[in-house]
Every structure is written in structure tokens, then in C-alpha cells.
Chain A
């Protein structure tokens, strides 16, 4: 496993959003007793490391079911935006009444939500094709932290 110093340096020299989020999450994982959400941050780290390793694009399950007691409205909204390639529309989550409970507050339900919202506010007009592809895959992987994985039928 790469050290925090290596991950930070890689992020400095990378134009990929997945590398930036990996380094940021690694900083929080370095001090779990301060920032909490250790399991959630580990999941983000793992998902984005998998994104960097695999060339197969991640696809959302056909039916989006939020995990546990996570709020359904923002999760369904993010999923719809990603399915329809409307990444910048995700930023309108800010208009929802409960946004302040989910974003940068002690009651936030999962740090993946923070990263999804912040990445969605990036001006895509300034990005190249590789960055746009990486942005969407990073968002999909982050969203996968908030939903139940697709159930395989017994026939599979």
C-alpha cells in the first residue's frame, strides 16, 4: 500500500479526480479518531483504487436502492443525473431543504455525498475527455458507496 506521502505527491501530479479524492480520504484515514467515518472513508478509498486499476467502466444497478437509512431523495436524484449524463445538474442538490444536514455538517450521512456534490460543481468546459471520463466514473464509484449492490438472481 502506498504511503500518505506517496498518495499526496501522486495527487499533486495527476489531473484525475479519483487521485485527488484518494489523497484527501487518505488524510482523513490518517486521523480516524478525529474525523470519524473510518469505514466509510475506507470504502471510498477502496472504490476509487479499484477505478484506477480496472479499465471496465462501472455501471449502476438497474434499480437504485439506498443503503440502510440513507436519504433516498438525493441518492435517486444523483443516480438519475448520472444515468442521463447531466453531471452539472447534481449541484442543484443545494436547493433541497435537507441539504445542510447532509453537507459538511456533523450529521452528514456519508462523506461520499460531500465529494459527489463538490465534484459536480466543477466546470466541465475546462476538462479534456480523459478527465470527463474519470469524473463520471469517480462519481459513479462514490454513488456506489450509498446504494445497495445489485442483487444477482439465483439463475446467474
Chain B
């Protein structure tokens, strides 16, 4: 059911990749979400358009100061 399937999980980092369609940008999209074992507050989320443009880059790392 989930469109964000796990593509890789190694060294505590899990990468999920999903496909979507952006209504706002009128294009197909690829989502990449990275989560980190042991840090449940953190995730990185990047959305790439079918033209190769990064539409969204959310680096959520509240536990990292550097």
C-alpha cells in the first residue's frame, strides 16, 4: 500500500523512495526520505521533479547543532 518503499537500510540510515505527482508544479515527482535509527526526531526529505529540479529540501535535524 505504501508508496514510500524502503530501498536501503544500512549503518542505521534508512532510505525510502516514493513517487508522486505535484499539483502545484504539474509534474511527476520522486520523494527521498532518510531516517536514522536511534534518532526518532530526525528525518531528511527531498522532492525531485521529473525535470531534475529539487522542489523541496527539508533537513529536519533538531538534535544536531553542527
A residues neighboring B (CB under 8 Å) = 3-6, 8-9, 11-12, 17, 20-21, 23-24, 27-28, 30-31, 33-37, 104-106, 115, 118-119, 122
Contacts and interface: CB of A to CB of B under 8 A. Distances in A.
Nearest to B41: A3
Residues of B in contact with A, size category: 20 to 34
A27 B56 contact: no
Contacts of A119: 1
Interface of B (DSSP majority class):
strand
A5 B2 contact: no
A35 B22 contact: yes
Given A4-B33, A106-B21, A24 B43 contact: no
Interface of A (DSSP majority class):
helix
B13 to A, nearest CB: 11
A105 B56 CA distance: 21
Given A12-B6, A33-B24, A35-B23, A27 B40 contact: no
B24 A8 contact: no
A27 B56 CA distance: 12
A27 B1 contact: no
B52 to A, nearest CB: 15
Interface in B23-59: 23-26, 29, 31, 33, 35-36, 39-43, 45, 47, 55-56, 58
Given A35-B22, A119-B1, A5 B45 contact: no
